[in-house]
Structure 1
Amino acid sequence: MLKSLCRLLSSQALAANVSRTRVQTMGVAENLMNQNVWDSDPELWKLLNDEKKRQRKGLEMIASENFTSLAVLQCLSSCLHNKYSEGLPGRRYYGGTEVIDKVEILAQQRSLEAYRLSPEEWGVNVQPYSGSPANLAVYTALLQPHDRIMGLDLPDGGHLTHGFMTATKKISASSIFFESFPYKVNPTTGLIDYEKLAENARLFKPKLIIAGISCYSRVLDYKKFREIADENGAYLLADMAHVSGLVAADIIPSPFEYCDVVSTTTHKTLRGPRAGVIFFRKGQRSVGKNGVPVMYDIEEQN
């Protein structure tokens, strides 16, 4: 009897202790959930302020960087951060995405409107986190492993994701998983050598040609790129990430008239959040030898 009573009292004491611990833990968690970062993590807060001072006092000359707006920062720190939304609007792998679907559809509509595109002729994916994942998504949608690509060489003003490699090493995923033959600028004029590009394309027979730049100061001749791509049965991708704001403002030629796919970012000259966008053509691509229309199937790879 006495032993049973002792065991009962002991178990009650243990339960009470566990309950107190749980309450204390919940209290600490609730406190952390409602603390400002300068209280919860002073060390990180100092680093944030150090970076803010650096940005305010320095003159940033990196073309791919910009200062975004307060409204964008407010969206980035909103409750949207908490939601998973894998899949596409109306076809998600998670529940509770009815609001996220509306947000994504709004972003798609605004992306098309920014470049005066018809939704009947162009589709758009706004899910990439930046330009590099956007380009890789295009490659994996249009190409098979070891298919051939041609992009402007990095030392000549191209980008890492356009198939860059050195004589001893393949640098980016685009040169590791696909066969890359970069084109170059004319060393005398500093301009893209379109004649040499056309000559090499006839020999190399790429499946994808990339009209894109990171530090090339001239406008691109998209019509010439289109002619070379058509001659070799290649897709034409324009990576306009560094000049997308100028295209939207109609200051420089638009790639949309000639390209099959256009990739860009939203955080450079568009001054938005850090993200990427992929535009892809819909409808008829060409006419086959038997006179039957050949349709774009890029949307099916989305």
Structure 2
Amino acid sequence: MNNNLNKPKGFGEILDQTFKISKYKFKDFFIILLLLVGPIYILQAIIELATGKSFFRQEGGGGAWYEEMMRNMELTEEASLSSNLAADIGTLFVSLLVLFTYPVAQAAILFGVNHIKHNREFTASTIVKQAFGRFFPLIGSSLLYVIIAFSILFGFILLGVLIPIIFFSIDIIAGVIVTIVLTISLFLIGAFLLTRWSFFFGSVVLDKNSPGLTRSWRLSKGRTFKLIGLYIIFFLITTSIGVAIEMSVSAFLGNSVLLGLIVGFSTLFTTLIMAVGYAVMYLDLKVRHDADDLRDLIDDYHIR
């Protein structure tokens, strides 16, 4: 398996390698996510119980099974609209905790995939220790990336609203055309920039290069749109799994704490796939970049 990580891979090969590694090291990687992210879901469940949400809701009322399912789904929607302030504050607190635990879990999985690449044995505890060794650079760089992403998003939304308003005031057809073109353009530009910088994380973890944005920009050169495609594929796969689980379970449980726990822990599975996919993509970029550097050195040697 490690040989495949030591050579450049195509689009399909990256996907194939991701699922192979996810299956091969599922136990170790899932334990890492369970230990670092799992307690967050338990804490959220405790907060929800404390704010009055029932642990297990099984609404009665008779009728056919499909009527019961529709009734529970309607109750889920109504309960979500009437959530109280305390629950919202608790959810915000939990979300902030994830910002500190998830990067460590992601870094540990990245270390694990890198060990597989070099044919080195490892345990969940050893790679978690390695990840905590990069804790402060990870958090600092991640916060910087989030600020950049938010600034780009805010700026583009502002442009996407103001410019069409100006054209709509002149002509409706022109406004529609400008809105469509501008929306597509801003989306592509935003995706391009955020993808080019997104591999800062791998640089901070493996190359000890903080904040890693420049390194990420160099590594992703010439591969941006293929990387965007991979991100979209991984997003569609993991989202489909998550939505399917949530819809099937919520139809029976309604809006309950148990539903939140089931959905939360199923998210660990999709998170694992995304984390391994990111690691494979980053290592592929490194292999390609290192190969280019080697070719440049050979060319320089022949010139001399």
For Structure 1 versus Structure 2, the TM-score category normalised by the shorter chain is under 0.3
Tell which structure's C-alpha radius of gyration is larger.
1
TM-score by length of 2: 0.23
Judging by fraction of residues, say which structure has more strand.
1
Which structure has more relative contact order (CA 8 Å, sep 6+)? It is: 2
TM-score by length of 1: 0.23
Judging by fraction of residues, say which structure has more helix.
2
